[in-house]
């Protein structure tokens, strides 16, 4: 074999290796983008359910104006979030406001028995389950992409080809306590 043929074979192997690495990075990036899209769809579904739920509860709890304002504000913030950290923060704020809404609903036995409220609450629970699954899928896809970007030899090509690390969808330390604590509602007037 001549030196020229050996060089062509080595260059061909290197080219195939680079193509393989690039394609694996693109697959991981697309999987992560798809996972983020799944989260967005489920969050949108949740935010579309909330006005109906709020209106149902409003009929029973007219004096709980601040709860409804908090839910409305949290929904608006969540819909306007554009990055993963912003979305996570807005979602945490939204979960806290939603807890308050359900705490108010618990104080009204007639509301809890209302079929519309029960259906909306069941839809919301189903949506919350789907959001949790979508978050896990996204975080797994982001983890896989981040590992590819940071490990040798793909890290060499990832930087050159413009692949960036992805943020995880998580509760930040400042808001972890607020999300974990149950909402306390006291109608005793004390």
Q: Please report, for the domain that includes residue 91, its CATH number.
A: 1.20.1440.20
Residues 6 or more apart whose CB falls under 8 angstroms from that of 56 comprise 111, 114, 116, 117, 120
- Would you say residue 188 lies in a domain? no
pTM above 0.75, yes or no: no
Q: Is 177 exposed, middle or buried (0-12, 13-18, 19+ CB in 10 A)?
A: exposed
- Would you say residue 26 lies in a domain? yes
- Would you say residue 142 lies in a domain? yes
More confident of the two residues 145 and 92: 145
Please give the tally of structural domains in the chain.
1
- Would you say residue 71 lies in a domain? yes
Closest CA to 100 of 59, 48, 129, 57: 57
48-74: per-residue pLDDT in tens? 888 877 777 766 666 567 777 888 888
Q: How confident is the model at residue 33 (pLDDT cuts 50, 70, 90)?
A: very high
pLDDT value for 142: 94
- Tally of residues, the chain: 190
Q: Give the domain range for residue 8.
A: 3-180
- In order, the DSSP letters of 106-165 are HT-HHHHH-HHHHHHHHHHHHHHHHHHHHHHHHHHHHHHHHHHHHSTTHHHHHHHHT---
Q: Is the pLDDT of residue 29 over 90?
A: yes
Residues 6 or more apart whose CB falls under 8 angstroms from that of 171 comprise 88, 92, 179
pLDDT value for 185: 40
- Would you say residue 186 lies in a domain? no
């Amino acid at each position: 074999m001549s030196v020229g043929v050996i060089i062509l074979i080595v260059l061909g192997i290197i080219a195939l290796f680079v193509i393989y690495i690039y394609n694996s990075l693109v697959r991981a990036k697309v999987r992560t983008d798809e996972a983020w899209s799944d989260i967005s769809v489920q969050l949108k579904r949740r935010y579309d359910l909330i006005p109906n739920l709020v209106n149902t509860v409003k009929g029973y709890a007219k004096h709980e104006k601040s709860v409804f304002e908090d839910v409305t504000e949290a929904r608006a913030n969540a819909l306007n979030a554009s990055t993963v950290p912003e979305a996570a923060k807005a979602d945490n704020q939204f979960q806290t406001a939603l807890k308050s809404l359900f705490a108010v609903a618990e104080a009204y036995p007639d509301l809890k028995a209302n079929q519309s409220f029960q259906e909306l609450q069941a839809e919301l629970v189903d949506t919350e389950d789907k959001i949790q699954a979508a978050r896990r899928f996204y975080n797994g896809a982001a983890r896989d992409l981040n590992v590819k970007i940071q490990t040798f030899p793909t890290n060499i090509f990832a930087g050159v080809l413009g692949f960036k690390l992805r943020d995880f969808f998580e509760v930040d330390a400042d808001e972890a306590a607020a999300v974990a604590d149950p909402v306390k509602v006291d109608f005793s007037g004390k």
